[in-house]
Homo-oligomer: A and B are copies of this chain.
Amino acid sequence: MTWATIATWRMSYEGVQTASKMLQEGKSSGDAVEKLINQVEAYPYYKSVGYGGLPNEEGIVEMDAAFMDGDTLAQGAVGGIQNVKHAVSVARSLSQQHYNSFRVGAGATKYALLHGFEITNMLTERAKARWQKQLQEQQSRNLSAYNGHDTVGAITLDNNNSMAVATSTSGLFMKKAGRIGDSPLSGSGFYVDSEIGGAAATGLGEDIMKGCLSYEIVQKMGAGQSPQQACDQAVYSFVHKLKKRYGKAGEFSLIALNNKGEWGVATNVEFTFSIASEQQKPQILIAHPAQQQTTKIEPVTQDWLDAYEKRIKAPLE
């Protein structure tokens, strides 16, 4: 019996600290993963998740989120939900329903209202200013939209050998109304089976779903591969396949954790992530794609962290 957690990006670090305390105290993987994600959703300077997340092209913050219980395989998801402080908590609540467990658009928001979830205007002044700036720049310089699509995804293993996975995102900046990505989609954005392990994705959802990458990684772990082997094989072969078949591949990164507490990641861009386990204090690592379908992973430097902090809080010009 051991516990562990892994989550995408630097932004998950404080949530990983919270989750690691909970797991250490014997809390469940489901409670820990929800609180981990909630913390990222609530922080206004993370511009791709929850409060402070960047809006769609109409200036509306639309969020996608999911939750999966690795013991029962129960899932809940929302797509294009609005005005909800904690989309992942709505998803987790839906996972307790056998029917109607994936709700989108106005119907998803209606569920949150009916069930008393915290409602707020998710568009911060800062996010609104970025949106207005982007609109102006696109008009004047024909800029490409769709930068910034960083989902928080996390996997947890608790002392009872139960696992959970959850995701939350405001999706592509400047997306079209009602666009959803991989984050709420079983097998693409997330998957977990407590008898094997779990995986979660971040990146261009439109491409991640072409390869069902989270399910693929869990299957490979089920066939005996380590999380790192499974991530490397699934991600780099799919990048190759997508370039050959579709002509290009967007940016994406996958994380995985098995039910022994071993983890792995693979990515086709610079990718930070956070981990903690019974043996390992919460830590931020940075990954890059390396040669021969492998991933180079090292501790993040203080310089990187300082630059990150400065960047996310920089005044908007």
Chain B residues contacting A73 (CB-CB under 8 Å) are: 210-211, 241-242, 245-246
Give the nearest-CB partner of A191 in chain B.
B212
Q: How large is the interface on A (under 10, 10 to 19, 20 to 34, 35 or more residues)?
A: 35 or more
Residues of B within 8 A of A104 (CB): 79-80, 104-105, 178, 180
Contact A103 B185 (CB under 8 A): no
A240 within 8 A of B: no
Task: Flag the segment in A14-22, A46-54, A94-102, A292-300 that touches B.
Answer: A94-102
Nearest chain B CB to A211 CB, angstrom units: 7
For the complex formed by this chain, how many copies does it contain in all? 2
* A75-B209 contact, Cβ under 8 Å, with A185-B186, A187-B215: yes
Interface centre among A102, A104, A111, A186 (most CB of B within 10 A): A104
Are B105 and A107 in contact, with the CB atoms below 8 A?
yes
Selected A-B contacts with CB under 8 Å, 7 pairs: A99-B206, A100-B176, A102-B181, A103-B180, A185-B185, A187-B215, A212-B215
Other A-B pairs beyond A73-B246, A98-B250, A99-B145, 20, CB < 8 Å: A62-B107, A71-B245, A73-B211, A73-B241, A74-B210, A98-B206, A99-B175, A100-B179, A101-B206, A102-B209, A103-B176, A103-B178, A103-B179, A104-B178, A106-B177, A107-B177, A108-B178, A111-B176, A185-B185, A185-B187
